[in-house]
Chains A and B, each alone.
Chain A
Amino acid sequence: MSNPLIGNRANPRPTFHDALAAGLPQGRDDEPASLRQDILDELNDHLACAWRRELLRSGGLANELQEQASGQGQSELWQRVEQRFGDPRALARRLWFDAMWSRIMNQRLQVVAMFVLAVASFGSVALAWKTLAASQALAEQSQASNAELIKELRGLVSRLPVASQSPAAPVAPVEWNRVGIRCVSEKAGGKPLAGVSVEFGGNKPILTNADGVADLGLMHIGPTHLTFTVDKRLQLMHTIQVRPGEDFEETFVCPPAASQISVSMPMILPNGIPPALKSRIWCRVVIWRESGGFDSWSETFTKDHRPFLTVFLAPDGKIWPISDPKAQLRQQHYQESDSGQPVEISPRPAQGIFAKFAASRIELSKDLQPVDSLQLPQGCYRLSYLLAVSDDLAPHAFFILPNHLALSTLYFDSTNGPSAAAPIRLAGSHEIQIDDNLFKAQWPAPNIWKVEVSPRELENVQFLSTFSAEAVPMALISVAYQGRKVPTLTASDHLDFLLDDKVILSGVPVFSQQVLNDIPSPQIYLFASLLVQEVDLFRQIQQGSWGASVAQRFRVRIRPGTTEEQRGTLPADFEEQLKNLPRPPNESI
């Protein structure tokens, strides 16, 4: 660095700004406005101080002007200052870079990032361009191939015989052939039968027209199962074979409708039965319409294709026809009003055993609608039945056939002799198998089905209460209080005892629900049927409907063929507990 004072003799004080400024880099836009001047001023101050120090060392301020006049002396002083200070311009440059370092680096990083971004963008564009070019080349190649193929096909077509260029003649179906069904009544050559339903493969049934013909359309070769239904009373399941290249046509002879036969069903009881017991015996009979089997016409039992009918028989020969009790059971439920009655059944059967149902007013002999005979279509039937004895304590009955009991199965022929029009009639049987004993029913005349009850059978059923169950261990329980008549009803899959607004629940999965409406004492007798092996009962007294309870548990063991009595006693402080149960506002026991 040359002497900064040379050429500046007019200024009595030394200044190093120009010399220092020469070491600074060129100005930047992001440079703080005062940075450059601050560095220069600070270093200038330092150099001025150092200059003054060297000046003092060389002879004092008195000689300053004289020394200044001497260029040789100034140079020596500056050399000493510079020797101690180092290069002031390099220091100024370093201070400037230190201050600007972060800004410079940020700018450089931005430049590098922009460069990388530009390169990436350029690469993407180049790649897209290359892909587009490849796609175009592939499309052009595909078009060329297609054009070549079309050209070859046209050449082939032009070489075909002229006849083949005329409209194609219909090709005779080989695998698919037309199927037509013709139905006539009663005999071959009989009158065409319109309205016969022909169903196959789950399709919508096709009805025969006025000519008795049903066009089933094209069917694939092989076997096809058809179901014919005439007037919803006769059914035939038949298999046809469709052969390759052959249309199928066949005429079916539909038998006439079976006559309606009046059938009575007296119950024949063994001698010696006490009159009081005889009046309580009931028989539930399920009448099954036998099918003629596959490929034979069979008569459906009812117009809605139900294959069975359930009736109740009374010892006096009265018959109560009801619909399927199991179906009823799934749908019906009983509701009791807040006041305790009347109890309603929903849905109420149009014609059933509960014509005027009220828990406390049921009387079988009045509420049921008995008939003397049944009107059944001519045919073969299979009967299953279950005997029961009604309970004086529960004056209405409801019977479910327990399949596991495997009681007798009776076959009756109600045709009044062979019918020429009826295709198949099974031979009847009137034997009754109960355990190891075979019993015979008596048939005084056709169409009178007599249910003969043996003493042994009656012995078995005498312990049946008014309720039966579908399977063990469903409990058959009647509830009484000190021999008094108790209105009961059936409904639920668990046992509920109602004492006014106090509910006694049983955890046993029983079929019966029995309602006790007016029991003055909490003491209850429980009777169980012979079907129950062992029953766990617990009584749970609930106050109202919000769930507070007092529970008591006891067990009942019952041997088949016997009945046992279990007397349950509520806790001594039962009444006290009831009073202490929480209850909603404005309600009292």
Chain B
Amino acid sequence: MEIRLVSGTVEMLVMEVLSAGASYGYQIGQTVLERSQSLFELKEGSLYPALHKLEREGVLESYWTEHDGRRRKYYRLTANGLKDLERRRAEWQALARGVNGVLGLSGSAS
């Protein structure tokens, strides 16, 4: 089943993954795929632009490491990114409650 994510959801998922620790692009995509039980597969064409956008906004910061002869770019949340994630979580929960309420799924929303 192909799921079309709501605008801004990719960024929230990326931030959620990075809230557990620093990671790099490929691993972030795989983590989302695993946590969503293969429901969400972040396309690279949307993953990397989102990462770069969040970095320019100061939500993320990056650093480079060496791995298997290649340079690898790791991302992690900044302090502002952590606050922003909390805000996005709250907004998502409110949205989910509302949608679930409309759909008669209130019990499973929380």
Q: Are B52 and A45 in contact (CB under 8 A)?
A: no
User: Does residue A44 face the partner (Cβ distance < 8 Å to B)?
Assistant: yes
Bound complex: CA A522 to CA B13 (Å): 104
B26 and A86 contacting across the interface, CB-CB below 8 Å: no
From B26, B56, B68, B71, give the contact of A50 (CB < 8 A): B26
**Tally of contact residues, A, Cβ under 8 A:** 21
Q: Is A46's CB under 8 angstroms from B25's CB?
A: yes
A88 to chain B: closest residue by CB: B44
Given contacts A13-B69, A91-B45, A91-B48, contact A45 B25 (CB under 8 A): yes
Q: How far is the CA of A46 from the CA of B24 in the complex (A)?
A: 9
B49 touches A94 (CB 8 A): yes
> Once the chains are docked, how many angstroms separate the CA of A572 from the CA of B52?
99
Which residues between 46 and 84 of chain B lie within 8 Å of chain A, taking CB atoms? 48-49, 52-53, 56, 64, 67-73
A518 proximal to B (CB < 8 A): no
Q: Does B69 contact A46, Cβ atoms closer than 8 Å?
A: no
B43 at the interface (CB under 8 A from A): yes
Q: Which residues of chain A (163-198) have a CB below 8 Å from chain B?
A: none
Q: How far is the CA of A85 from the CA of B47 in the complex (A)?
A: 11
Q: How far is the CB of B59 from chain A (nearest CB, A)?
A: 15
With the chains together, A90 CA to B43 CA distance in Å? 13
Which of A13, A84, A95 is the one whose CB lies under 8 Å from B49?
Answer: A95
Q: Is the interface of A mostly helix, strand, loop or mixed?
A: helix
CA distance A43 to B44 in the complex (A): 9
* Contact between chains at B72 and A45 (CB < 8 Å): yes
- The answer for the CA separation of A46 and B28 in the assembled complex, in Å, is 11
In the complex, A85→B24 CA distance in Å?
A: 16
Mask of A74-94 contacts with B, CB within 8 angstroms, 1/0: 000000000011101011001
Given contacts A13-B69, A91-B45, contact A45 B53 (CB under 8 A): no
**Contact (Cβ within 8 A) A42 B73:** yes
Question: Which chain A positions have C-beta within 8 A of B43?
Answer: 86
Residue of B nearest to A44 (CB): B70
Q: Contact check, B53 vs A98: say whether CB atoms are below 8 A apart.
A: yes
Number of interface residues of B (CB under 8 A): 20
Q: A38-B73, A95-B49, A98-B49 are in contact. Are A46 and B68 (CB under 8 A)?
A: no
Bound-state CA distance A50–B45 (Å) is: 14
B48 touches A43 (CB 8 A): yes
Contact of A48 among B44, B49, B52, B70 (CB under 8 A): B70
Cβ of A153 within 8 Å of any chain B Cβ, yes or no, is no
Q: Which residue of B lies closest to A90 (CB)?
A: B45
Chain A residues closer than 8 Å to B70, beta-carbon distance? 13, 41, 44-45, 48
- Chain B residue at minimal CB-CB distance from A14: B70
Given the complex, which residues of A lie within 8 Å of B71, measured CB to CB? 41-42, 45
Identify A13's interface contact among B24, B25, B48, B68, CB under 8 A: B68
Bound-state Cα–Cα, A42 to B64, Å: 9
Greatest chain B CB density within 10 A among A13, A48, A85 is at A48
Q: B25 — which chain A residues lie within 8 A by C-beta?
A: 42, 45-46
Complex-state Cα separation, A91 to B52, whole angstroms: 12
Complex CA distance for A84 and B47, rounded to whole angstroms:
13
Which residues on the A side are within 8 Å of B67 (C-beta)? 45
Q: Given A45-B72, A45-B73, A86-B43: A95 and B48 within 8 A (CB)?
A: yes
Q: In the complex, what distance in Å separates the CA atom of A42 from the CA atom of B72?
A: 6
Cα–Cα distance between A73 and B56 once the two chains are bound (Å): 40
Bound-complex Cα distance A90 to B48 (A): 12
Nearest Cβ on chain A to B42's Cβ, whole angstroms: 11
Give CA–CA (A42, B70) in the complex, Å: 9
A90: chain B residues at CB < 8 Å are 45
The yes or no answer to A49 lying at the interface (CB within 8 A) is yes
Find the B residue at minimum CB distance from A40: B71
Distance in angstroms from A56 CB to nearest chain B CB is 13
- Contact across chains for B52 and A49 when beta carbons are under 8 A apart: no
Chain A residues with Cβ under 8 A from B24's Cβ? 45
Tell me which residues across on chain A come within 8 A of B72, comparing CB atoms.
Answer: 41-42, 45
Chain A 83-112 interface 0/1 with B at a Cβ cutoff of 8 Å (1 = within): 011101011001100110000000000000
Say whether B73 contacts A86, CB under 8 Å: no
Q: Determine which of A41, A45, A94 lies in contact with B26 in the assembled complex, contact meaning CB atoms within 8 Å.
A: A45
Give the interface centre of A13, A42, A95, A98 by most chain B CB atoms within 10 Å: A42
CA distance A38 to B26 in the complex (A): 15
Chain B residue nearest in CB terms to A102: B56
User: A43 — which chain B residues lie within 8 A by C-beta?
Assistant: 44, 48
List, in ascending order, chain B residues with CB within 8 A of A84's CB.
Answer: 44
Cβ contact within 8 Å between A41 and B49: no
- Per the bound structure, the CA–CA distance linking A98 and B45 in Å amounts to 13
A45 to B74, CA, bound (A): 11
List residues of chain B with CB within 8 A of the CB of A95: 48-49, 52
Ranked nearest first, the 6 interchain pairs of A and B with the lowest CB-CB distance are A49-B26, A41-B71, A42-B73, A46-B26, A86-B45, A45-B72
17 contacts between A and B (CB under 8 A): A13-B70, A38-B64, A41-B64, A41-B70, A41-B71, A41-B72, A42-B25, A42-B48, A42-B72, A45-B72, A45-B73, A46-B26, A84-B44, A85-B45, A95-B49, A98-B49, A99-B56
Binding site for B on A (CB under 8 A): 13, 38, 41-46, 48-50, 84-86, 88, 90-91, 94-95, 98-99
Given contacts A41-B72, A41-B73, A43-B48, 14 further A-B contacts (CB under 8 A): A13-B68, A44-B70, A45-B25, A45-B70, A45-B73, A46-B26, A49-B27, A88-B44, A91-B45, A94-B45, A95-B49, A95-B52, A98-B52, A98-B53
